[in-house]
């Protein structure tokens, strides 16, 4: 199994890009909000129980997909420096120990562009950050723009790229499917 792990801050375009990568590769789309929205119906976002359950669900899905030899999964994630490192290490261990590989792709853009994108109507489909105030507050409080320091990531600045240009860079980076 090949896990395409797209990460970056809210409003960087991860979900939009992930849908297209999924369509082009035939890989399954397992985006961040499938678990976030599920768990927010029971747990308060960001609480220890919420985080623990989110990680457990995701790791279980990745492990089973690798064991079942699912060809590929595209996953989106908002990585927080240091906080999410144990999850990323567990993810690598589970996927690799089941014969899979992980391709990390960091999608980012400048803060002004994030502020423009956060209010786009396409973001209302899921329970996403939807206001410039909320995004500014979380960007100031959390390290959501850092790369994962202990893995090799393909870094794509989508500030001035079209969706199709970003998609092309990702497809080139992940190689044949």
Q: What is the pLDDT of residues 96-122, one digit of tens each?
A: 999 899 999 999 999 888 878 776 666
- On the question of pLDDT at 174 being above 70, the answer is yes
| Number of domains the chain contains | 1
Q: How far apart are CA 100 and CA 102, in angstroms?
A: 7
On the question of pLDDT at 142 being above 90, the answer is: no
pTM tops 0.85 = yes
By C-alpha distance, which of 27, 20, 15 is closest to 169?
A: 20
pLDDT of residue 105: 97
Say which CATH number the domain at 16 has.
3.40.50.300
CA triple 175-65-68, angle to 5 deg: 100
| Residue-wise pLDDT tens digits, 82-98 | 999 999 999 999 999 99
Q: Which domain holds residue 16?
A: 2-174
Q: How many CB atoms lie within 10 A of CB 57?
A: 14
CA 78/CA 32 separation, integer angstroms = 8
CA atoms of 22 and 36, how far apart (whole Å): 20
The answer, yes or no, to whether residue 130 has pLDDT greater than 80, is no
């Amino acid at each position: 199994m090949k896990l395409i792990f797209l990460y970056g801050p809210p409003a960087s375009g991860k979900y939009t890009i992930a849908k297209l990568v999924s369509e082009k590769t035939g890989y399954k789309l397992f985006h961040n909000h499938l678990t976030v929205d599920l768990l927010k119906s029971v747990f308060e976002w960001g609480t220890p129980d919420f985080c623990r359950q989110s990680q457990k669900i995701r790791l279980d899905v990745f492990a089973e997909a690798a064991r079942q030899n699912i060809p590929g999964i595209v996953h989106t994630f908002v990585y927080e420096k240091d906080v999410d490192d144990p999850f990323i290490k567990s993810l690598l261990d589970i996927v690799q120990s089941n014969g899979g590989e992980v391709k990390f792709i960091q999608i980012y853009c400048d803060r002004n562009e994030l502020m423009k994108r956060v209010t786009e109507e396409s973001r209302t489909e899921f329970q996403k950050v939807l206001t410039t105030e909320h995004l500014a507050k979380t960007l100031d409080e959390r390290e959501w723009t850092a790369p994962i320091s202990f893995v090799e990531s393909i870094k794509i600045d989508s500030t001035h790229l079209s969706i199709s240009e970003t998609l092309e860079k990702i497809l080139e980076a992940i190689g044949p499917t």
